[in-house]
Amino acid sequence: MELHDRVARAVVAILLGAAAVTVMPGRACAQAKSEADVSDQERYKREAEEARQRLISSADLDAATRSAIDSAVPTEAPASPTKARKLLIFDVNVGYPGHPSRFHANYAFGRMGEKTGAFEIVLTRDPEVFRCESLARFDAVFLNNTVGNLFEDPELRRNLVEFVYGGGGLMGVHGATVAFTKWPGAVEDWPEFGVMLGGRGARHREFDERVFTKIDSPDHPLVRVFPAEGFEYRDEFFRVHGPYSRDRLRVLFSIDVDKTDLTPKESRWKQEREDNDYALAWIRNYGRGRVFYCTIAHNPEVFRDPRMLTFYLSATQFVLGDLPASTIPSDRLTPAISAQEKLGWRLGVTAYTFHRYTLFETIEKTEQLGLPHLGGLSFQKVSSEIDKPFDAKLNDAELQAIRLKLDDAGVRMLTCFYAKIPNHEEGCREVFEFARKMGVETLISEPPLESLDMIERFCEAYDIDLAIHNHGQKASPHYWSPEAVMKVCDGRGAHIGVCADVGYWMRSGLDPVAAVKTIGPRLFVVQLHDLDALTSEGHDVPWGTGAGKTEAFLTELHRQGVQPKMFGLEYSYDWYDSMPEVTQCVRFFNETTQELAKAEE
């Protein structure tokens, strides 16, 4: 009993914020008490005690277990790290004794990092690690089978979501879908976390349920280890609920409902989803952040499976930022977007097109156009409820509302035109903090020449690009032509480039095709236009129907291999009723990019 008590106290010590352990009456990570039939409670209690004993026996892995994991760990990473990477592993459980498998995962991930040289792990159960200055040391956070309300401090929660949205990684397995809930019961306590991760809930059947998987993204780099026809597996598989949606997530694999026997075997089991869509693993972007989740992590044997460890290594390199992978949601992956991904191009609405409307209305119009990307505008009103411009003066609650609006529409803000970046340190830092919190990759502006050194320092510190915009010669004397702006960019680092407003080029008598040859890879953003006439009074017309040689311009970009951060759909005419023309521009771009991609085959 003395040893048992010591181990029990150790278990209590790692349960953050819990004065005592409340054992959930059910199997490891079982359905919430409210979802269970009362008649099953005695069996649940027995299974919970068995799970608790497995936890105690797994607190220190024996030599045979370590050896088995060592034998299964891959020795070569699928991608070469671009820098030294650090992965934070957090495996706290609150109100629940925890899955034994998390100890096996901790050891396996540590050995993967060591053997491949791809990353270093830091394992902690101290929530203070989520202070801003501490999080900044890491490239990604791994929530390893975390159940319950891990921490309630609003500042720490805001730090985590801003870390991810600003470009960090988030990885969750199995119990992470009920992290930041009040346990027992899985009562929601932080809705945005569920949005960020991509799903909620822990409904499941046997701990060793047999399923056949369907590979939903067969050409995806994260699932190359699996056969294209799917695979059979045994584990405890969660059936998640909202906010899960294929309209927001890139599903990697799911339960093959045609091959798997889903007939309920117990009275408490029922059809968990009316649509029969049981995703088991997915990825997504949340802002700039890279998010991965997989439910297969209940049983310790998972982390002695070479194939699953290879899969988890690829997922880790994805969240760390070293393994590029498409995150376009499954239900939005059209042939046109697939072609654009092949070219390395991304089309998004430039908010100036709809600047007479609010940002929220612009987001809705972007969704209606079927586009996944948007370029923000610092002088656009946010919404009828937030009667403020979209700039660095917005508070955290207002920024959260914008994040959730973007997510609800399935839209990412890649760029933001910031009309005036202050030419002093404090103001410049505020703008870059704003851009970080909004997941912006590239700021667009026309700063004074004397501000560029300071702005470039912030670009490097925040890993955010500056694309220098042009108007005409009178308004932009240093930036109006390709030669002028390239003179400014000469000698500067990789974060400084060009945002080409093609309409102003043409109104100034410049040939866009020739201009591309001058700028080359410094072309960060294209604000694409076609004009009815190549004069100073020319106005926008649908792409491909005017005098702008739009198809030749795109063909030249492709010939040079230029991959701008975004093609901005900017239509500066008929401000209140331009959707038909804007839709025609989207159609032209989609058709042209599909032809260009086809020519590569």
- Over residues 297-308, the pLDDT tens digits come to 999 999 999 999
What average pLDDT does this structure show over 88-98?
Answer: 93
Indicate whether 455 belongs to any domain: no
Q: How confident is the model at residue 5 (pLDDT cuts 50, 70, 90)?
A: very low
In a domain? residue 333? no
Give the pair of three-digit tokens for residue 127.
């929530």
* Of the residues 320, 337, 357, the one at which a domain ends: 320
SS3 label, residue 387: coil
Residue 273 is predicted with a pLDDT of 81
Average pLDDT, the chain: 90
In a domain, 336, yes or no: no
Calculate ∠ Cα 557-562-565, nearest 5°.
115
Same-domain check for residues 404 and 273: no
Whether 180 and 274 map to the same domain: the answer is yes
- Alpha helices, DSSP H only, in 119-266? 132-135, 154-165, 191-197
| In a domain? residue 181 | yes
Claim to verify: residue 519 and residue 574 sit in the same structural domain: yes
Residues 350 and 312 reside in one and the same domain: no
pLDDT of residue 272: 73
- Longest C-alpha distance within the chain, in Å? 90
pLDDT of 268 reads 61
Beta bridge partners of 286: 289
Q: Are residues 353 and 486 both part of a single domain?
A: yes
Say whether pLDDT at 541 is over 80: yes
How confident is the model over 21-43, as a mean pLDDT? 34
Q: Do 121 and 189 lie in a common domain?
A: yes
CA-wise closest residue to 394 among 407, 406, 383, 409? 383
Give me the residue label for tokens 């597996």: 233
Ramachandran class of 375: left when φ > 0, alpha when ψ lies in -120 to 50, beta otherwise = beta
H or E element that contains 24: none
Q: Which residue has the higher pLDDT, 127 or 272?
A: 127
The reply to whether 553 falls in a domain is yes
Contact 128, 183 (CB under 8 A): no
Give yes or no for residue 151 having a pLDDT over 80. Answer: yes
> Do residues 164 and 256 share a domain?
yes
Exposed/middle/buried for residue 23 (C-beta within 10 Å: 0-12, 13-18, 19+): middle
pTM metric for this prediction = 0.89
Residue 88: C-alpha distances to residues 60, 169, 290, 323, 461 (Å): 20, 10, 15, 18, 21
**Domain identity same for 285 and 393:** no
Which CATH number fits the domain that encloses residue 375?
Answer: 3.20.20.150
**105 and 190 housed in the same domain:** yes
Domain co-membership, 237 together with 353:
no
69 & 28 share domain: yes
Count other C-beta atoms under 10 Å from residue 535's C-beta: 12
Find all residues with CB under 8 Å of 288, minimum gap 6, and list them: 165, 166, 167, 439, 440, 441
> Residue 296's domain spans which residues?
2-320
> Using an 8 Å Cβ cutoff, are 447 and 455 in contact?
yes
Give me the pLDDT at residue 59, please: 52
**CB 11 within 8 Å of CB 60:** no
In sequence order, which residues have a C-beta less than 8 Å from that of residue 310 and are 6 or more positions away? 74, 225
Strand order in the sheet with 169-173: 120-124, 86-90, 140-144, 169-173, 289-294, 279-286, 250-255, 209-215, 232-235
- DSSP 3-state assignment of 98? coil
Measured CA to CA, the distance from residue 524 to residue 121 in angstroms comes to 34
Q: What is the mean pLDDT of the segment spanning 547-552?
A: 94
- Give the residue-averaged pLDDT of 541-561: 95
485 and 543 share one domain: yes
Q: Where are the beta strands (DSSP E) in 456-577?
A: 465-469, 496-501, 523-528, 566-569
Residue 255: both structure tokens together: 């339960």
Give the residue from 320, 355, 386 where a domain finishes.
320
Instruction: Tally the domains of the chain.
Output: 2
| CA 56 remoteness from chain centre | 36
CA distance 39 to 289: 44
Q: Is residue 265 part of a domain?
A: yes
Could you give the dihedral angle defined by the CA atoms of residues 188, 190, 194 and 195, in that order, rounded to the nearest 10 degrees?
Answer: 130
What is the rounded distance in angstroms from the CA atom of residue 314 to the CA atom of residue 252? 12
Q: Is a pLDDT exceeding 60 seen at residue 96?
A: yes
Strands 496-501 and 523-528: parallel
- The pLDDT score that the predictor gives to residue 33 is 32
Residue 154 is classified by DSSP as: H
Residue 57: band (very low, low, confident or very high) from pLDDT cuts 50, 70, 90: very low
The beta strands (E) that lie in 402-548 are given as 412-417, 442-445, 465-469, 496-501, 523-528
Q: Is residue 452 part of a domain?
A: no
pLDDT at residue 588, as a whole number? 98
What is the domain-level CATH number for residue 265?
3.40.50.880
Tell me, yes or no, whether 327 lies in a domain.
no
**Predicted pLDDT of residue 600:** 84
Taking only the tens place, the pLDDT of each residue in 196-231 is 999 999 989 889 999 999 999 999 999 999 999 999
**Could you check whether the bond before residue 482 is cis, i.e. omega within 30 degrees of 0?**
no
